[in-house]
Chains A and B, each alone.
Chain A
Amino acid sequence: MAAIPISYIARNLFARKLTTVLTAGGMALVVYVFATVLMLAAGLEETLIATGQPDNVIVIRRGAQTEVQSGVDRASAAIVETLPGIATGQDGQRLLSKEPVVLISLPKRETGNASNVVIRGVTEKGLVLRPQVKIVEGRMFRPGTSEIIAGRAIAQGFRGAGIGETLRFAQRDWTVVGVFDAGRTGFNSEIWGDAEQLLQAFRRLGFSALIFRLADQNRFDAMKQAIEGDQRLQLEVKPEQRFYADQSEGLSKFISYLGTTISIIFSIGAIIGAMITMYASVASRTSEIGTLRALGFSRTAILIAFLGESLLLGLVGGVVGLAAASFMQMVPISTTNFQTFSEIAFTFTLTPLIVVASLAFAVFMGFVGGFLPAARAARLSIVDALRAA
């Protein structure tokens, strides 16, 4: 039993250009939406997961979900600082950073709409704990002054946050003396200043969170028990990666749920388009099908040929849609994460999984759209088909 050559299948698509373009175009749009939404969710997750370091631990007040909600007073911070199990740095001091974290409302450069930006008070230790942060423009702030440094996304996106500009909050003017790049992490959407200066300016007595590095990564559980079991402390301990990953959950779930629902609804439209095209293709080639059957091609061969045509249609749409979606990687996105109520910048990220899922989705649309018409083609009887005009 011979199979119908693939070139025959491909040339059928080529013969009716307008129809092929319209049908594949519809599918391409669906795949484009499907892929971009997944890329958006993946980008957000990746950014927040990359924000945490594997051996860093964050300590916040029990029950708090974000650093901004949390509060750790100085006495508790001192107790945690003396616990064994915290790594020591090159200078022999413990690698623990006590950080105040607050939100300030800043206008965006383009629209002037205000959004909440995280401002974090750090010390030298804070920088050692986050090796991914590099000053790319200007210099580090001098401790004990009203100088601040801004993450790249903030420096670009918000008024007064660029290098050399000043921001006014908490009754002081703060000069931006440097811009830092933290790779694809959430720190790019933060402003950093001297911890003690910020505490004074905001009239806070306590810190928001403690971040430290474990001397031994496997000792996390013991450390957790030591802090959470201490009657004097009302604190909660989380690995930094887990902490940031949790913060992406709400928004990325929202994006992927909404996106998947939309894609499924859209795919109904595209499947119908493929079905109409394939039915027409079968109808206009009825006598041709009869000839093929008379030549000895089996019903299965006919079924495969028409299904193949539809799958190819889907694949073309999928590749075009995916190619268009991959360009979205150049578009930066900045929005408010409603879990932390603060601005987060991220990019569309194309992962191998998304490529596979998008193409599979496209081929699936082709399959569903092409199956019934292909079955009809295969069921035609030779005599009737040959007689059809």
Chain B
Amino acid sequence: MFIPFLVLRNTLRHKLRTTLTMVGIVVAILAFGLLRTVVDAWYAGAEATSSARLISRNAISLVFSLPLNYQQKLRQIPGVSSVAGANWFGGVYITESNFFPQFAIDGAGFLDMYPEFRIPDAERKAFLLDRQGVIVGRKLADKYGWKIGDQIPIRGTIYPGTWTFTLRGIYDGADAKVDETQFFFHWALLNEKIKQLYPRRADNVGWYVIEIKDPSQAAEISQRIDATFKNSLAETLTETEKAFQLGFVAMTEAILVAIQAVSYVIVVIIMAVMANTMAMTARERYSEYATMKAIGFSNGFVAFLIFAESMTIAIVGGLLGILGTFPVAAWFGGAMSQIFPVFIVSEETIVLQMGAALLVGLVAALIPAWRAARVRIVDGLRAVA
């Protein structure tokens, strides 16, 4: 009972200093957790994928489309259970700053493949029956206050003109990982308009989503698909949905690496602050340590006292930081929902936060503990802080 009490009293001796150090750790652990969550959010698209879905797109790049007649050919490939096309629309809602992804989808076929989008049956039916209909995610609908039946005008950037859609359904994600900021309308409507404007561009699909019967066959089926269209006007590149999403992550790798690096810099900064605190604390107490040694306490015990004090501050600060991460992440995720539709603090982040706090406590005490353990009784007694 005596030792914890001693550590606690030591910790509280300089209340202001301990408080300041602890605030520093709270801020650092919070920032570290937030940055880790930003990195996770980057990968959210890849996390929410299904291994039973493949994406087939034009091998040149996503800017090029695939002919509509590939749908039939894809269906005939062994191992494929269903196929649905989709297009990127790239429109603007009122102003450029209101960004959200819009997709033209192959109605029922596409929705069947994404069971994680939960839509009430009545709304789903209403959407399928209405050519102008649109289904949007819950977050998106809440953000702009859209209700079922609302007219939503979107200005096209790739497909010119103003397009007006009628909101027919709102989907909820099956779990928190599902992006609820997407906007789906009928590919048939898009194609009809293109036919009038640019007949040559009609009957093209941006990419095909392909559901396969056995996920372990993904690689073989992908090869089979690409081989089928080899040397045609539109060669395909087929990969799992996850690889497809990771492709987008890889494009902004440089920024991602920078954020990751920065998240560790904050840990180093706080390590310096904490080490400074412990160094000062130990220096002021050299004469005390010498006294303890003179009474008969071992060098190890003196070092232990410093470690225990450092760890106490770090652990309490770390726990407070972790607790603070949740409200801050909720606020940040709400403010940045355009860029990060899915923003959840993962368990791994919490473990890493706690690990970082422990590491800071440990490293900060190293030099002071070593110095205090080595101080000779005579010098220590003579020392003036």
Contact = CB atoms under 8 A, between A and B. Distances in A.
Q: Say whether A associates with B.
A: yes
Interface stretch (B126-134, B219-227, B276-284, B295-303): B276-284
A116 B59 CA distance: 12
18 contacts: A22-B272, A26-B270, A29-B269, A61-B160, A64-B158, A68-B63, A102-B64, A103-B62, A104-B61, A113-B247, A116-B63, A169-B60, A203-B233, A269-B28, A269-B270, A269-B273, A284-B284, A335-B253
Nearest to B279: A18
A269 B62 contact: no
Contacts, number: 152
B12 interface: no
Interface in B259-301: 259, 262, 265-266, 268-270, 272-273, 275-277, 279-280, 284
B21 interface: yes
Nearest to A108: B250
A269 to B, nearest CB: 5
A223 to B, nearest CB: 22
A127 interface: no
B252 A336 contact: yes
Interface stretch (A141-149, A273-281, A292-300): A273-281
A69 B158 contact: yes
Contact of A104 (B60, B233, B277): B60
Nearest to B232: A171
B35 A276 contact: no
Nearest to B18: A276
A105 B62 contact: yes
B108 interface: no
Contacts of A202: 60, 64
Contacts of B235: 171
Interface string A254-279: 11001000100110111011011101
Contact of A29 (B38, B160, B265, B280): B265
B385 interface: yes
Across the A-B interface, give the 7 residue pairs with the lowest CB-CB distance, nearest first.
A336-B251, A273-B273, A113-B250, A335-B254, A22-B276, A272-B24, A26-B272
Given A255-B255, A262-B35, A270 B231 contact: no
B254 A258 contact: no
A374 to B, nearest CB: 15
Interface of B: 16-17, 20-21, 23-24, 27-28, 30-31, 35, 38, 59-64, 90, 96, 155-158, 160-161, 200, 231, 233, 235, 237, 247, 250-255, 258-259, 262, 265-266, 268-270, 272-273, 275-277, 279-280, 284, 339, 367, 385
B237 to A, nearest CB: 8
Contacts of A276: 17, 20-21, 273, 276-277, 280
A241 interface: no
A208 B258 CA distance: 34
A59 to B, nearest CB: 15
Given A270-B269, A341-B63, 13 more contacts: A19-B280, A69-B90, A69-B157, A104-B61, A105-B60, A105-B62, A203-B233, A262-B35, A262-B266, A269-B28, A269-B269, A269-B273, A272-B273
B251 A63 contact: no
Nearest to B275: A22
A111 B31 contact: no
A103 B255 contact: no
Contacts of A273: 24, 269, 272-273, 276
Contacts of A234: 160
A32 B258 CA distance: 13
Interface in A57-88: 61-65, 68-69
A338 interface: yes
A3 interface: no
A33 B60 contact: no
A268 B266 CA distance: 11
Contacts of B339: 254
A376 B367 CA distance: 29
Interface in A330-349: 333-336, 338, 341, 343
A104 B251 CA distance: 13
Interface in A6-36: 18-19, 22-23, 25-26, 29-30, 32-33
Contacts of B385: 284
Contacts of A26: 269-270, 272-273, 276
A167 to B, nearest CB: 11
Contacts of B24: 268-269, 272-273
A136 interface: no
A25 B160 CA distance: 55
A202 B247 CA distance: 23
A171 B265 contact: no
B355 to A, nearest CB: 18
B276 A63 contact: no
A114 interface: yes
A383 interface: no
Nearest to A114: B247
A170 interface: yes
A115 interface: yes
A270 B276 CA distance: 11
